[in-house]
Amino acid sequence: MASVYQVVVTAEAQQNLQEIIEYLGHNVSYETAERVRDGIEAEIAKLSKHPQSKALLRGTEHTETIYRRALKWSYRIVFTVEENELLVLVVRIDNEKTNPASLEDLP
């Protein structure tokens, strides 16, 4: 039977999602903001099963921590997997078009 991982979203990642939703609500529509929030939250929930099947995050190959990414539309969910604890830690949510230099400040 496959292991089920606990998924934890850091305060920073929660703030990232809130900023995305606020931007969409003000600049696109409230309905779009809700749809995007629901879609990202559903994608995060899926990380509880087989998180290591997601791609490694490009640009972080030389870091101690192994980062992976899940995509939902143009949004990137950045996370780590703690195998010993069966834990997925979501550390950032952003637009995949974000400048890769911004990855330098990952925890």
The model's confidence at residue 104, banded by pLDDT at 50, 70 and 90, is low
Show the domain range for 39: 6-105
**For residue 36, is pLDDT > 60?**
yes
Residue percentage of the chain with pLDDT more than 90 = 78
Domain assignment present for 23? yes
Domain assignment present for 86? yes
What pLDDT is stored for residue 43 in this prediction? Answer: 98
Domain assignment present for 75? yes
What pLDDT is stored for residue 16 in this prediction? Answer: 95
Mean pLDDT on 19-29: 96
> Taking the CA of residue 81 as centre, how many other CA atoms within 13 Å lie in the half-sphere pointing to its CB?
20
What are the structure tokens assigned to 58, written together?
Answer: 């490009």
Domain assignment present for 67? yes
Domain assignment present for 48? yes
Bridge partners, residue 94, by sequence: 76
CATH of the domain at 50: 3.30.2310.20
The model's confidence at residue 96, banded by pLDDT at 50, 70 and 90, is confident
What pLDDT is stored for residue 1 in this prediction? Answer: 56
Contacts with 37 (C-beta within 8 Å, 6 or more apart), sequence order:
17, 20, 21
Domains held by the chain: number: 1
The model's confidence at residue 107, banded by pLDDT at 50, 70 and 90, is confident
- Dist CA 46 CA 32 (whole Å): 21
Domain assignment present for 60? yes
What pLDDT is stored for residue 5 in this prediction? Answer: 98
**For residue 41, is pLDDT > 80?**
yes
Domain assignment present for 47? yes
Mean pLDDT on 34-63: 93
Domain assignment present for 1? no
